[in-house]
Structure 1
Amino acid sequence: MESGRKGWVYGWLFYTVCALSLFAAEVTGQIRYSIPEEMSVGSIVGNIASDLGLEPKRLISGKARVFSAESSEYIGLDKENGHLIIKSKIDREELCGEISACSISFDVILDNPMELYRVTVDIQDINDNSPLFPKAKIDKEINELAVLGARFPLESAIDRDVGVNTLQKYTLHPTDHFKLNVQNAEDGSKNVEMILHSPLDREKEKRHNLVLTAFDGGKPQRSATVQINIVVLDVNDNAPVFSQSSYKASVVENSAKGSVVTTVSATDADESSHNIQYYFEHATSIIKSLFSIDADSGEVKVIGDIDYEKQKQFKIKVNAKDHGGLTDSSEIIIDVIDVNDNIPKVTIMSFSSAVSEDAAPGTVIAMLNVQDLDSGDNSKITCSIDLNSPFKIVPSLTNYYNLVTDSELDREQIAEYNITITAVDGGNPPLSSKDILKLKISDVNDHAPQFQQESYNAFISENNPPSTTIISVKAEDMDWGPNAKMSYFLIDGDLNGSPLTSYISINSETGVIYAEKSFDYEQIKSFKIKVKAQDGGSPPLSNNVTLNIFIQDQNDNAPQVLYPVQTGGSVVAEIVPRSADVGYLVTKVVAVDVDSGQNAWLSYKLQKATDRALFEVGLQNGEIRTVRQVTDKDAVKQKLTVVVEDNGQPSRSAVVTINVAVADNFPEVLSEFTDSTHDKEYNNDLTFYLILALAVVSLLFIVSIIAIVSVKIYRWRQNKLFYKSGANLPVIPYYPPVYADGTLQQVYNYEMCGTTDSRMSDVKFVRPYSQNTLVSQSCLGTVQREKQEQENNDLTLEVRPYNLYYKCL
């Protein structure tokens, strides 16, 4: 029956609280609920989502959670429905003791963005505790001569409930000799005593058995009883009297065991006053574990560890009893003095372990709660962080701080911070605690790639195989992760009308540049390309660098002889007169090498000579000169083989053969070379074509000579008429032409008859002339040239053999 009524009361209180919670207003980040104690686990305290005007999904996305330094085990949060629920039963008496106003506070924290709401839940008392007497019976001894109105204090009952649910009244039965007197103490407790209103007579009745009942004011009402056994004694007229109605003392927490707190004393008008005994009345187990009283001296001492944070004040009832059983009571009020024995506690309620380097100043990094269980100045906490840090601590709500950015961050300078948070209380000496937060700075793509060099020069030898590595370029990015992942590209361009990608390629990951084809130094000596390095950021950043590629020459080309020209069946001959001086220039070998550098440095040397050393060739210039005077023993026909060699490794060379005729006159040269050619056999068809070609050339040559002579005669007649009719003109001297070294010194007129067989050809020589018979016609109009033409009536042709064929000079 009693359990049913109790459940009804619980239900009524629950619905009342729920109805009141609907009107809870959230104005300054705080909300308040009221619930009865002893609610079952899972019961709903209130819907915080609706009371705060939040969407239920906000609790899930914000990772809503309950935080409390002390009472987080009582209240939980159902994020799906937004309900605050009971996690464990709340016993108000255990939580708050004798304090009537009992509540628990906690914080509801949300992230993204950070939000904090303070929630206070008032715990309402229910009548779940009955009054309780410290003993099952009370034994008292009262002298039969006790005067009417004598007071006999009784041990009070204790009810752990508060308000109307606590102890309200006492009853005593029977009341033949004694009646009750109940007095209200300053702290709200009740002191009960018996007053003698009818004389006692030991001879009539030695013992009296009374029943004391205590009632609380709860519904249903609870009660407790104690048996009072009174023994009537003989002759004890005066009861002990304490010197003070109450004693006040103080003790420092953590006082050493044995420390004296205070001393109580009582006096008795009887002669046996020195036999007064002192003892605690109705001392709780906590008081008995912390304090003791000397029964003879009344000295109160510390016997346990006193902690201010657990209990700040103690009230102890003390009795004095004489040998006749008369007693008096008093109260000891002991205040505990706080000592700064608790270090501040820093609790990280919300913390972002990483923050972007472009976070604006004022961005919240962490939310901190600081607590100190001490009181007064000992609980005043100052929170700080390291100096010269881009962060700062700013206060938020009471005992709350926010760690925020104070300046711009740069991950490339500092990628991680160890932020030391120091909490110092105001005690003397102060106590402090430290907590370290490891904060990583997340990267932002704010740095473009940078090449290790402003430009690159690469060298590759020509004739390289395809896929040859030319060079490796590398760019670095101060960013991190994907923002620093590098990719390399060739910027579009062309070379000799072809795209660059047909010549070279690049590995996009490593930056290694390869040749796509074989290079030829003689075609391409160098070219430029641009390489782009691009990071993996979004948007990506890039940078360019110029790469100069130089093709290195290899000795892959042999020298080429430009002069003398070598033909398949021709015999090239240079004529050296026997009167030539030492150093006479015979001819000059001209050669080139399309390579470069030392591969194109040419040197000349004679490989083979037909006679002892008559000639030499210049090592550098290729000039062939005589090294001594020509003697009669020297053969007319000299065959020189000149080797032209470059300076490459290995070297390459070319060979040219030069025929030199040593003779003073042309017939001697011709006979020598004619004799040498009689031994050759030629094909008849080839000879026929040669004769035919020679006839055509001769015909053209004769026609040209006739035309030139006709023009000269015509001009001569015109000039003659001009001189006859004109005035006297000054005489211009005539200088004969100077012949270069290596030409014949005499002029020959000859006729040549050729057949299909060259061995049957013949040359008919006419008389020689001592001077040139063919003169220059470039200076018409001069008197000297006119006289010369008049003296030479017969036009002759001066011919110098140059090679086997004849040229007209």
Structure 2
Amino acid sequence: IASLGWRISILLLCVVAVVSGQIRYSIPEEMRKGLFVGDLAKDLGLNVKRLVSGRARLVLDGDNKYVALDQNKGHIVVNERIDREKICAKKSPCSFSLEIVLEDPLELFSITTEIQDVNDHAPAFPKKEINLEISESTPTGTVFLLDSAADPDVGINSLQSYSLKANEHFVLKQHTRSDGSKYAEMMLQSSLDREKQSKHTLILTAVDGGEPQRSGRVKIHVSVLDANDNAPVFTESIYRASVLENVLRGTVIARVSATDADQGYNGNVTYSFTHLEEDSSCPFEINSYTGEVKLTGVIDYEVTPNYEINIQARDPWGVVGASKLIIEIADVNDNSPVITMASYSGKISEDSTPGTVVALISVQDKDSDSEKNGQIRCSIDGTVPFKIESSLTNYYNLVSDQHFDRESVSEYNITITARDFGSPPLSSSTKLHLKISDVNDNAPVFDKNSYSAYITENNSPGFSIFAVSARDSDWNQNARVSYLLEDTQVNGSPVSSYVSLNSETGVISAVRSFDYEQIKELQLVVKAQDGGSPPLSSNVTVKILIQDQNDNPPQVLYPVQTGGSMVAEMVPRSADVGYLVTKVVAVDVDSGQNAWLSYKLQKATDRALFEVGLQNGEIRTIRQVTDKDAVKQRLTVIVEDNGQPSRSATVVVNVAVADSFPEVLSEFTDFPHDKEYNDNLTFYLVLALAVVSFLFITCLVVIISVKIYRWRQSRVLYQSNLPVIPYYPPRYSDTLGTGTLQHVYNYEVCRTTDSRKSDCKFGRAGSQNVLIMDPSSTGTMQRIQSEKSILDEPDSPLEVTQYCVLTFITIKSIPFRSYILELFFYIPQKHVIRTNVKNDIAYFKSKHNNSHSWC
């Protein structure tokens, strides 16, 4: 079976012919379900979309479900196993017809599928053994008709030849009937001698012409009898008979007769059919003594229009004579017309014009088309605004005959009758229920002119925000409303990337999680569209407002926590109560009360010495500093917002309580990791310091020389007055707000030896010194300490003080309103002058064309 299936798949062949709207395919039998039969779309010259839009369907006769239509591909495929022998028996060619119907517009195509035979049966003999009794007096040349082998296949796959195992007495002769079937005769070629050999065993083989070739065998046992030298002879070589297909069982169809010239017992003749197998469905039998042929089964003209039967007459000694009986089956009007709705939607639009096709009706009659029994007339019962028009053969169109008004009559009941022209005529009827459909003339209407909805930020994707609703006063599909989201832009992105709309329910859902800090509201347009054709629609505006959540903790801008160096705020021991140590500056990107910040002192080396402003984050002393207070003070400040729940951030502030740099240096440079430096590293550091010092002194000499030279050339420039205006960060001392500190930059401020002649006016600052304590920069701290002795002298003219202090502050990547730079100039009174360098540098440049008095 597997080999057969493989060969069938290889031999699959379709022959297509399109003539006057008809297609013909040819396929082998025994094809598996789902296998390809034909490319209907290609053969009809149609697009696959046309098959889908036209709701293409196959109209099959009766129980014919052998093929099906794949609309998506436009292919006809096998729907169930096809057995040619079951459908057509010996009829050839074997085919069945079907039609394909397309709608909008209506089209009909006829398809004929021919079933090719496959060699799936081997020739089989009706009996396993053939027993022959032959008289020894039988003359040579006597022919013995053998049982024919049966092969349900047709054509080349049917029985093609017989062969007989070689022997000295018998030879085989093959013959072909008028229908092309083969049968064999065995001829005696040499006389038999019962006394020499009374029994002979022969092997008869029947072979078909299929690929692979199949065969059947039967053993022939020949018993040699004594003399009987005359064979029965039929009165006619061919007998013919005709019978109606509705004749009753038991009716004698024909009578055959044969005579034997022998007398007595040797002249007795018996009759039999010779070509029938054991499971033959032949509806006839013959009386072995009288030769009467009776009907014992069911005959049907539509299945088998004629029968050809081989008859044998045999005497008691096995001598036989052969003849043939041909029975013609006459058609009787025994089939009523069958009405099939090939295409019927059950409704028609009230604006349809007269002549519109409502249904396509197929009427089939299995009786013969060549006689009146198969001719059909189709009509409508009663008075309705419809009529029947003939289409293709056996097809009729039900068309409208006038205009419709659904408000007057919304539906019709139609009875269609099909009647043949037989005697007596047979008929069948079917009833149709037809509805008049409404016309779409009303657009959907929203409940409101506009909608507003609210959603809290940080929502989960898929969250349902709001639902819109519209109604349509039309009926059925025309009143079915679907919702569409118009393609608009929100912040340069399509609105569909923010929200989605359920087309059936009108529910608007979030596609993403919203962030109030990025977007505060969405405005979208929703369209309600009905299901009519053409569809009608209306629009409505929906505004979605985003509500803030406390989802961002405070961000500390100052002081900035660094990992490589330690930033310390310096407090003199002479500081009074309320001395401003520093200010913690933080921001919160949330809005409303979620951005209201409060500052609290969480931990402190000495809680009795410092306090933090609840609203402004200012760290001040709450008592007089004494000599007993530790030099190194560590404060931990927590910043909280006012959200629910609140969020917070902490910052560590290092404070140095000292009056001099050496005291601070000794306290902050005693770190455990300094002890881990090895001797080699110390050597390299000393060497590097020596090289840097040498380069510094060399550069200093060169710079001083250049400065003196320029000073002589442009002495007149020093007579100008250049005010230096102290500048403080916005809201630095604001006690009501949280305060913000914008981008902080690193600047190096230098004073020349002629700075006493500069027109810059230095005011006394209201804040403390800022120190950068780096454990690894002990050499730099020693140099600063040595130079500080000059700065600490009262009223010391800063003549030889070419001194620069570098402030390191990390820049936070937060949007700031302005760029503020703070320059710190150390003067003998240890006050700090702060200036807005971005503005003042431009002013300096306008007053001093040469940059020798500032850097």
Give the one of 102, 107, 118 matched to 1:110.
102
Task: Describe how 1:164-563 pairs up with structure 2 within 5 A.
Answer: 164-272=156-264, 275-284=268-277, 290-375=283-368, 376-386=371-381, 388-443=383-438
Q: What's the CA shift for 1:54?
A: 2.3
Give the one of 10, 16, 34 matched to 1:12.
10
Q: Which runs of 5+ in 1 are unaligned?
A: 447-478, 486-536, 540-809
Q: What's the CA shift for 1:130?
A: 1.1
294-303 or 349-358: bigger deviation: 349-358
Give the one of 26, 39, 42 matched to 2:34.
42
The answer (yes or no) to whether the contact 2:135–2:224 under 8 Å persists in 1 is: yes
SS of the equivalent of 2:361 reads: strand
Aligned length: 448
**After superposition, what is the alpha-carbon deviation per residue over 1:216-265, rounded to whole angstroms, capped at 9, x for unaligned?**
11222211111000101111110101111121111212222221111011
Matched to 1:432, the amino acid is S
Q: What's the CA shift for 1:430?
A: 0.5
CA distance in structure 2 between the aligned counterparts of 1:399 and 1:437, rounded to whole angstroms: 19
Corresponding residue of 1:739: none
Matched to 2:96, the amino acid is I
SS of the equivalent of 2:68 reads: strand
**After superposition, what is the alpha-carbon deviation per residue over 1:159-181, rounded to whole angstroms, capped at 9, x for unaligned?**
22222221111111133111111
SS of the equivalent of 1:385 reads: strand
Matched to 1:247, the amino acid is Y
The answer (yes or no) to whether the contact 1:145–1:200 under 8 Å persists in 2 is: yes
SS of the equivalent of 2:61 reads: coil
CA distance in structure 1 between the aligned counterparts of 2:358 and 2:186, rounded to whole angstroms: 68
Corresponding residue of 2:662: none
CA distance in structure 2 between the aligned counterparts of 1:27 and 1:170, rounded to whole angstroms: 42
The answer (yes or no) to whether the contact 1:263–1:299 under 8 Å persists in 2 is: yes
CA distance in structure 1 between the aligned counterparts of 2:147 and 2:233, rounded to whole angstroms: 17
**After superposition, what is the alpha-carbon deviation per residue over 1:600-653, rounded to whole angstroms, capped at 9, x for unaligned?**
xxxxxxxxxxxxxxxxxxxxxxxxxxxxxxxxxxxxxxxxxxxxxxxxxxxxxx
Corresponding residue of 1:688: none
Matched to 1:333, the amino acid is I
CA distance in structure 2 between the aligned counterparts of 1:415 and 1:358, rounded to whole angstroms: 13
Task: Describe how 1:751-766 pairs up with structure 2 within 5 A.
Answer: none
The answer (yes or no) to whether the contact 2:377–2:419 under 8 Å persists in 1 is: yes
Task: Describe how 1:31-70 pairs up with structure 2 within 5 A.
Answer: 31-70=23-62
CA distance in structure 1 between the aligned counterparts of 2:92 and 2:432, rounded to whole angstroms: 41
Matched to 1:147, the amino acid is P
CA distance in structure 1 between the aligned counterparts of 2:110 and 2:213, rounded to whole angstroms: 37
420 and 480 in structure 1: CA distance in 2 versus 1, 3 angstrom threshold:
farther
CA distance in structure 1 between the aligned counterparts of 2:31 and 2:283, rounded to whole angstroms: 33
Q: What's the CA shift for 1:436?
A: 1.1
Corresponding residue of 2:112: 120
Matched to 1:166, the amino acid is S
107 and 174 in structure 1: CA distance in 2 versus 1, 3 angstrom threshold:
same
CA distance in structure 2 between the aligned counterparts of 1:336 and 1:391, rounded to whole angstroms: 42
The answer (yes or no) to whether the contact 2:61–2:97 under 8 Å persists in 1 is: no
Corresponding residue of 2:694: none
Matched to 1:370, the amino acid is V
CA distance in structure 1 between the aligned counterparts of 2:429 and 2:475, rounded to whole angstroms: 33
The answer (yes or no) to whether the contact 2:150–2:276 under 8 Å persists in 1 is: no
CA distance in structure 2 between the aligned counterparts of 1:208 and 1:379, rounded to whole angstroms: 57
SS of the equivalent of 2:423 reads: coil
109 and 538 in structure 1: CA distance in 2 versus 1, 3 angstrom threshold:
closer
**After superposition, what is the alpha-carbon deviation per residue over 1:394-432, rounded to whole angstroms, capped at 9, x for unaligned?**
111111111111233344554332211111111111011
Matched to 2:131, the amino acid is D
Corresponding residue of 2:151: 159
CA distance in structure 2 between the aligned counterparts of 1:106 and 1:132, rounded to whole angstroms: 34
SS of the equivalent of 1:59 reads: helix
The answer (yes or no) to whether the contact 1:13–1:35 under 8 Å persists in 2 is: no
405-414 or 154-163: bigger deviation: 405-414
CA distance in structure 2 between the aligned counterparts of 1:193 and 1:405, rounded to whole angstroms: 69
Matched to 1:337, the amino acid is A
The answer (yes or no) to whether the contact 2:339–2:364 under 8 Å persists in 1 is: yes
CA distance in structure 1 between the aligned counterparts of 2:37 and 2:224, rounded to whole angstroms: 58
SS of the equivalent of 2:200 reads: strand
135 and 179 in structure 1: CA distance in 2 versus 1, 3 angstrom threshold:
same
Q: State whether structure 2 residue 86 is matched by structure 1 residue 89.
A: no
SS of the equivalent of 1:85 reads: strand
Q: State percent identity of aligned pairs.
A: 51
The answer (yes or no) to whether the contact 1:66–1:107 under 8 Å persists in 2 is: yes
Q: What's the CA shift for 1:115?
A: 2.1
The answer (yes or no) to whether the contact 1:212–1:227 under 8 Å persists in 2 is: yes
304 and 101 in structure 1: CA distance in 2 versus 1, 3 angstrom threshold:
closer
Matched to 2:8, the amino acid is Y
The answer (yes or no) to whether the contact 1:66–1:72 under 8 Å persists in 2 is: no
Q: What's the CA shift for 1:71?
A: 6.0
The answer (yes or no) to whether the contact 1:152–1:194 under 8 Å persists in 2 is: yes
Matched to 1:390, the amino acid is P
Matched to 2:184, the amino acid is V
CA distance in structure 1 between the aligned counterparts of 2:44 and 2:282, rounded to whole angstroms: 47
The answer (yes or no) to whether the contact 2:127–2:277 under 8 Å persists in 1 is: no
Give the TM-score normalised by the residue count of structure 2: 0.50
**After superposition, what is the alpha-carbon deviation per residue over 1:499-549, rounded to whole angstroms, capped at 9, x for unaligned?**
xxxxxxxxxxxxxxxxxxxxxxxxxxxxxxxxxxxxxx999xxxxxxxxxx
Q: What's the CA shift for 1:110?
A: 2.2
Please, what is the CA RMSD of the aligned residues? 2.8
The answer (yes or no) to whether the contact 2:232–2:261 under 8 Å persists in 1 is: yes
Matched to 1:75, the amino acid is V
Q: Which runs of 5+ in 2 are unaligned?
A: 442-472, 480-531, 535-855
Corresponding residue of 1:735: none
Larger radius of gyration: 1
Q: What's the CA shift for 1:211?
A: 0.6
Q: What's the CA shift for 1:331?
A: 1.7
**After superposition, what is the alpha-carbon deviation per residue over 1:710-732, rounded to whole angstroms, capped at 9, x for unaligned?**
xxxxxxxxxxxxxxxxxxxxxxx
Corresponding residue of 1:641: none
Q: What's the CA shift for 1:126?
A: 2.1
444 and 3 in structure 1: CA distance in 2 versus 1, 3 angstrom threshold:
closer
402 and 39 in structure 1: CA distance in 2 versus 1, 3 angstrom threshold:
same
Matched to 2:151, the amino acid is D
SS of the equivalent of 1:57 reads: helix
SS of the equivalent of 2:85 reads: helix
The answer (yes or no) to whether the contact 1:144–1:235 under 8 Å persists in 2 is: yes
Task: Describe how 1:623-638 pairs up with structure 2 within 5 A.
Answer: none
CA distance in structure 2 between the aligned counterparts of 1:444 and 1:10, rounded to whole angstroms: 54
